[in-house]
Structure 1
């Protein structure tokens, strides 16, 4: 499989015409970590976010960092929430990024729709890892696949770069393969001026922030703690909200 190379716009301050103007950055940006089928936690966290949102004057953006399916008990409901009109009414901009589990599900759906008696055992197959109830989805499998395929690999506001897995090391800053953005596990590359906001690698003790990166994957499917990073204006220093840890049963 040939790796797809993606390119991002330059950092804030560049004269490149693709630059997002500083004035377009919303009053608040929310970045939500890996959900993994925990629709209950997503609904709880969205309530917390909207309560916070009422205190903010100005526009609001919400960015979901990928991995909405697998592991947890209600992936179909998570997809419904992400596709809902209400979400787009509550926020001025909604960005739904692709995670590696969405990439795997695209491959699985393609094989399943071609032959429902077999699932591909290719690179991205998860059939042997997760039990999936296709009938639970309220949309057709083709519509689901189209929704997943259209998810972007990254989002940038000129100050912060949002990706699922951070960014892997590369010889050319600003150019990465899909594998770098979806599967990478390791120290996040210092982009010298742009903060990387990501999930994918679980931090069990709570979200982690340093001068280069913010990681908000707090293992919600198992811990019961789903986390959002909150950036006001052009700030690089987030605050966090999380659901409370629980002993809810988990599907691995």
Structure 2
């Protein structure tokens, strides 16, 4: 596996234009947290590590969350409460949308309730439980309407506002952050939301350089992945007990 410095050296050798800078701007440090999926305990541990790591740094500090805050783990509501507490007032904080947040919003807002069954299959039931909602048996269409009404009632307004304000991507310097990745050979400013939230094999298997190094979650690996064109940070926290945080500074990358 290449080091990030070696990757950026290759990028520089390609004579990137000034509009495609390498690494982070000077005097910047960026922390990026992978998919949380309701693991409040791991999120609190990572927050503590970030606070200690950033204590002596006087430059511009940025914290990016890659999405998938909810589902699968048992503390989705509590994760939202934690994120909204603003533990890092001296950081610029960026919250990206994951595909799980997209489906949650579709369940709340879409007239077609069939999305609920898909959501339940890939982790939505623990999220409902964290808000005090129990699903018994296989719900009928009427049951789904009642569940949605109860979910709307029990979700705090600040949580709904949080979900609705999530960003699809964030870019700075030589990095582009998106939950799932990007579609190869499509310019970054023309990427479709569906791809940035859901894409897998076509992005993961591509050797194409996308103009910037893509930092993403969504696709689980045992360890963080550093490739010449992307960095993957989803280490399956809900099951593995390992929530990854990458620390970017200049052209370097390390992990907490």
The TM-score with structure 2 as length reference comes to 0.74
The alpha-carbon deviation at position 171 of structure 1 amounts to 4.2
Residue 216 of structure 1 and its aligned partner are, at CA, apart by 0.7
Change (3 A) 1:49 1:77: same
Stretches of structure 2 that go unaligned for 5 or more consecutive residues are 1-15, 134-150
Decide which structure has greater helix share.
2
Aligned partner of 1:149 among 164, 184, 194: 164
**Matched residue, 1:110:** 109
- Residue by residue over 1:167-220, the C-alpha shift from the partner in whole angstroms, topping out at 9 and shown as x without a partner, is 12344453111111000112346445411111000002x101122111010000
Larger C-alpha radius of gyration, 1 or 2?
2
Partner of 1:86: 87
Is 1:126 paired with 2:119?
yes
The 1:54/1:213 distance shift into structure 2, 3 A limit, reads: same
Question: Where does residue 227 of structure 2 map in the other structure?
Answer: 210
Q: Which residue of 2 aligns with 1:250?
A: none
Task: State the 1:128 CA deviation.
Answer: 4.4
Unaligned runs of 5+ in 1: 1-10, 242-252
Q: 1:135 Cα deviation (Å)? A: 3.6
Distance 1:12 1:141 in 2: 46
Matched pairs, number: 214
2:46 is matched with which residue? 45
Distance in 1 separating the partners of 2:95 and 2:188: 24
Kindly report the root-mean-square deviation, in angstroms, between the aligned alpha carbons of the 2 structures. 2.8
Q: Tell me how far apart the structure 2 counterparts of residues 192 and 184 of structure 1 sit (CA, whole Å).
A: 15
1:244 maps to what in 2? none
* Structure 2 CA distance for partners of 1:168 and 1:192, relative to 1, 3 Å: closer
State the 1:58 CA deviation: 1.6
